[in-house]
Homo-oligomer: A and B are copies of this chain.
Amino acid sequence: MSFKKVVVAGGGVLGSQIAFQAAYCGFDVTIWLRSQGSIGRTQPKLDNLKKTYEEAIESMAAGTGPWCAGIADSDAPLDKNACLARVQTAYEGLRLELDMAAAVADADLVIESMAEDPKAKIEFYQKMAPLLPAKTVIATNSSTLLPSQFAKHTGRPDKYLSLHFANSIWKNNTAEVMGQAQTTPAVFDQLVEFANQIRMIALPVRREKNGYLLNSMLVPFLLSGLDLWASGVSDPKSIDIAWTHGTGAPKGPFQIIDTVGLATALNIVNQYQSVPGLLSPLLKKMMMPYNFKTMSKLLQDMLDKGEKFYE
């Protein structure tokens, strides 16, 4: 059975995008926000998204821009006017709501897209629990926290799971669907269906996994590139060329690090050992931090100096 009414809790970068994309695909969408100040920050994001979608449609029609699979199928002629009309309808239909009870009344799905603050998330779930109809499914867009950590606070662990989007979802249209131990298969399947309905390629993550799919591969890859550099085996540019020429990928590890930011890379290096589920406590203790320390130091030095690998 399909969802109709969707609530997005939080109007940050991803929250706004998820709300806009769901509205574009015909869902009845409300964004719940914590305060009048949040409305002042979220409305301009929605205004910009309207412009972004319109410009993407124009350049898809003109053949001058990249195809955005979140907006239309690439294997059929583009109905430009219909797409632009959907953008207008989505924009006009989006509601911002401060009253949580009003926002979630009759909600089929709540997508929690708030800051990565476990305490704030728990408070939100606890406050929302008594206000929800029995049918409501709750999904979290958290990138770094596991849903099992919050399941019991939602009041409905069987209807709680992760739905993880990439940035610029009208273009990068994947959604990782990840359950936790108590999520029922029917709810998992419902979320996969919903992800497809909002034009995402649903990627099922059938066991709870820190890093989902992409980061579970990206982190070891970036660390192995960093390790070659930190151990004095080679230099960042040669390492990048080895990867891009060897695999045809557009970017090597250091080009990716420049894009995601040195601070993020440093975070990965520094926090890697404390991410639960990747290493047993014993292994964590065994992990010799020699190259780790060098990686960390090299990145911190660059960060302090405001340097990047390129430019």
**Proximity string of chain A (164-178) to chain B, C-beta cutoff 8 Å, 1 when within and 0 when not:** 001000001110100
> Given the interface contacts A166-B246, A234-B204, A288-B282, does A221 sit within 8 Å of B223 by beta carbon?
no
Quick check: is A62 within 8 A (CB to CB) of the other chain? no
Q: Which residues of B have CB within 8 Å of A201?
A: 241, 245
Residue pair A242, B286 in contact (C-beta under 8 Å): no
Quick check: is A82 within 8 A (CB to CB) of the other chain? no
From B207, B228, B253, B291, contact of A232 by CB (8 A): B207
Q: Which residues of B have CB within 8 Å of A186?
A: none
Closest B residue to A227 by CB, please name it.
Answer: B280
Within residues 49 to 104 of chain A, which ones have a CB less than 8 A from any CB in chain B? none
Interface-side segment among A112-120, A134-142, A143-151, A208-216: A208-216
For the complex of A and B, 9 pairs with smallest distance between CB atoms: A213-B242, A249-B249, A214-B246, A203-B238, A220-B220, A220-B224, A221-B221, A214-B242, A217-B224
27 residue pairs A–B, Cβ–Cβ below 8 Å: A166-B245, A173-B245, A174-B245, A176-B242, A203-B234, A203-B241, A203-B242, A207-B231, A209-B231, A216-B228, A216-B233, A217-B225, A217-B243, A218-B247, A220-B224, A220-B286, A221-B221, A221-B224, A224-B280, A224-B283, A247-B250, A248-B251, A279-B288, A281-B291, A282-B292, A283-B285, A285-B287
